[in-house]
Structure 1
Amino acid sequence: MIKRLLLNEESIHCANCMLGHICMPHGMGSEDIERLAELVKERIRIPKGEFLYRIGHKANAIYSIRTGTIKTHIENHNGHSQITGFFLPGEVFGLDSMATGQHLSHAVALEDTEVCVMHTDDLATLSQQLPPLQHQVNRLLTGEISRSHQQLLSLGALRSEQRLASFLLDMSERFTRLGYSSQEFRLRMSREEIGNYLGLTLETTSRLFSRFQKEGLIQTQQRTIKILDRSALFNLLKTEHA
């Protein structure tokens, strides 16, 4: 069961959060940063496998991950599920609801997760007073659109091995922003979930991981990935169809 936590003076706020360099607006003075405490007044803890929200639920907030990992996915009328994103600490999700006031996807925790809640009414009010915050919101929305376009490009134009190479390089860059190794990191999603996100079957995804390891591109141990040949992964993205 999810648990809501109201913040108080003793809580960690945006000004002293170790993830501030990822999700906080750049170019803000110390006084403006302190005002961000007005924006994040509560956090939510979501146990592994639990939903934070579902498609069609009323949306009055966006979320930034403090710890853990979130998966978003959509479903059609036949019950087929398509994963639309994986979100790591410091990353913001739920942006697709800002225009409609309803969530357009499900959000579920891939591990025990804690998120910061930013109510959209508070966000709109504070953005008018703090231009860097408004710029950050615009940047996040632009990033969300770009991410969606990249996923469509991957599904429509890239070969299966290129999709996996692109995914691994993207995860490497995102873990680097968190201060972790760019070469070795642990994925919280399963091979099946990776395949779903990339538009591949579980069999194809497993075969590609085995192929990449056999060719010396990566080393895998359960869900831990070690990139051995980054250049080769980049080169895969440059190759054309035979």
Structure 2
Amino acid sequence: MYKSEKVVNLRELRQSCANCALNQLCLPASIGGEDLQRLDHLVQQRRPLERGELLYREGDGNPSLFVVRSGSLKSYVTLPEGDVQILGFHIAGELVGLDGLAGNGNQCTTEALERSSMCEVPLDTLSEMAGQVPGLQRQLFRVMGREFGREFDHPVMMGRKQAMSRLAIFLRSLSDRRRGVGQDPHELQLSMSRQDLANYLGLVIETISRLFSRMQTLGVLKVDRRIVRILDPVGLATLAEKPDDDKG
């Protein structure tokens, strides 16, 4: 893991991070003055990661909480037989590193899918400060609750038998996440490979390609390589919610 470099002045980030999880975590309305100065020294900006570089490895000690400022990442675990299981993808404006809250180091490996930058908040220092600043503690619980809630999307998807429903649930969730951080919810840039997406959804890559073609034929999506434009949000929701016993 690379050392942190530059301390970020949070006051200078108010505009650039207005729609970012950093705003929700570090700039709650009830924090100001001396407490805000303490936060200034807590949040650090890491050097950008290039595609394929690791943010942290499974088992790393001294975990931190990260806010993705640009780019995207994937998290995965290595199974006993050596295979990799992808657990999730992280986009700009979201938190990464909650797996380190268990207290036994990081529980997974997180890798950049493209050139990505992030801010770092050491968990031990954040926990100590949150206990001293009620406003920060409330915001921390709120943001963590939202992130944990998002992780339920994966078991919901894996519980669906229809491959079309799994992909539709993923795309709808990604659209909602982009809306939540102030980005266009109808234009999705899939920085992950089709193989990574297939792994995450428990499908094979040929099925992923066939499903995208089918959704495009139905007029739900327009697919241009890694750019997916949602043309019919209602149609996408219908596919996501289709019962498993519906063969139509």
TM-score (norm 2): 0.87
Task: State the distance in 2 between where 1:171 and 1:70 align.
Answer: 14
- Partner residue of 1:125? 128
Task: State the distance in 2 between where 1:21 and 1:83 align.
Answer: 27
How far off is 1:126 after superposition?
Answer: 1.5
Please provide the CA RMSD for this pair.
2.1
Ranges of 4+ aligned residues in structure 1 off by more than 4 Å: none
How far off is 1:12 after superposition?
Answer: 4.8
Task: State the distance in 1 between where 2:129 and 2:167 align.
Answer: 40
- Partner residue of 1:190? 193
Residues 73 and 180 (structure 1), Cα distance of their counterparts in 2 relative to 1, 3 Å cut = same
Task: State the distance in 2 between where 1:181 and 1:41 align.
Answer: 28
Unaligned runs of 5+ in 1: none
How far off is 1:104 after superposition?
Answer: 0.7
Amino acid at match of 2:10: H
Amino acid at match of 1:6: K
Match status 1:28 vs 2:52: no
Amino acid at match of 1:13: L
Contact kept in structure 1, 2:220 and 2:231, CA below 8 Å: yes
Q: Between 143-152 and 24-33, report the one with greater CA deviation.
A: 24-33
TM-score (norm 1): 0.89
Aligned residue pairs total 239
- Partner residue of 2:101? 98
- Partner residue of 1:63? 66
Match status 1:6 vs 2:9: no
Match for 2:110 among 104, 107, 110?
107
Task: State the distance in 1 between where 2:143 and 2:161 align.
Answer: 25
Match for 2:229 among 197, 207, 226?
226
Contact kept in structure 2, 1:219 and 1:227, CA below 8 Å: yes
Task: State the distance in 2 between where 1:75 and 1:190 align.
Answer: 18
Does the residue aligned with 1:56 lie in a helix, a strand or coil?
A: coil
User: Share of identical aligned residues, percent?
Assistant: 32
Unaligned runs of 5+ in 2: none
Q: Between 64-73 and 173-182, report the one with greater CA deviation.
A: 173-182
Amino acid at match of 2:5: L
Does the residue aligned with 2:117 lie in a helix, a strand or coil?
A: strand
